[in-house]
Amino acid sequence: MVSIHRVKPSYSDVSKKKNYRDYKDSLKSDFSGCCGYCGSPDFVFGGKAGFQIDHFAPQDKFKHLENEYSNLIYSCPICNRGKSNKWPTDDPNIHTKDDEGFIHPCSLEYDDNLMRNRDGTIDANSDVGTYMIHVLKLYLFRHQVIWIREELRELIGQVKLRIDESSELGQKYNALTAAFYEYDEILRANIDKR
């Protein structure tokens, strides 16, 4: 079992901006171009334009945090819509109550509550993790497929570094990558049909 994130998100120092939307480039960088909640890369949703900014403590309930950088999460539309303005308490600093709530993706606690299996599925290590899987729809097949695709892409890149293109192994590598990209195109065309 591994972390949901390939690279753990963390906040950099950014200058205060007038509107939270102006932080999107910084958030993309700090979250390595991936959803803070599910780890899906933004290119799957059309890049930065397809991603959204989630307010960890919802702006509807905590207006004073609307433009607070450490309250903003680079998020795919599925996780952002799932979370919406849900919050278990009337206090922005109390993020769980009675086994419900949310763990901040940049916190070390996140990996204590949620983890990814080798097959790409996401499992909970706690009742709060189970709640998050349900609310954020982390059980969706797409999260598994996207993870596996990225794993394959990374492995192919590692193999390519070790291969002499003129060898028999190089020919097998070329056949493997051609098959990967063929299946990748099929996946891209059908990911929403399941």
pLDDT value, residue 105: 98
- Token pair of 171, please? 């020919």
pLDDT value, residue 159: 77
pLDDT by residue (tens digit) across 144-163?
999 988 888 888 777 777 77
Average pLDDT over residues 54-68: 97
pLDDT value, residue 100: 98
pLDDT value, residue 114: 98
Residue 194 has pLDDT above 70, yes or no: no
pLDDT value, residue 146: 92
pLDDT value, residue 186: 74
Q: How far apart are CA 140 and CA 118, in angstroms?
A: 16
Residue-wise DSSP of 54-73 = EESS-TTT-GGGTT-GGGEE
Read off the pLDDT band of 165 (50, 70, 90).
Answer: low
Alpha-helical runs (H) found in 6-140: 24-30, 77-83, 109-113, 127-136
Q: How far apart are CA 12 and CA 89, in angstroms?
A: 28
pLDDT value, residue 192: 57
Pairing of strands 72-75, 52-55: antiparallel
Across-strand partners of 123? 115
**pTM for this model (two decimals):** 0.85
**DSSP 8-state code for residue 6:** S
pLDDT value, residue 38: 97
* Under 8 Å between Cβ of 56 and 73: yes
Would you tell me how many other CB atoms lie within 10 Å of the CB of residue 150?
Answer: 17
Task: Reduce the DSSP state of residue 76 to 3 states and report it.
Answer: coil
* Under 8 Å between Cβ of 101 and 131: yes
pLDDT by residue (tens digit) across 3-51?
999 999 999 999 999 999 999 999 999 999 999 999 999 999 999 999 9
pLDDT value, residue 33: 97
- Token pair of 97, please? 């109550």
Q: How far apart are CA 85 and CA 83, in angstroms?
A: 6
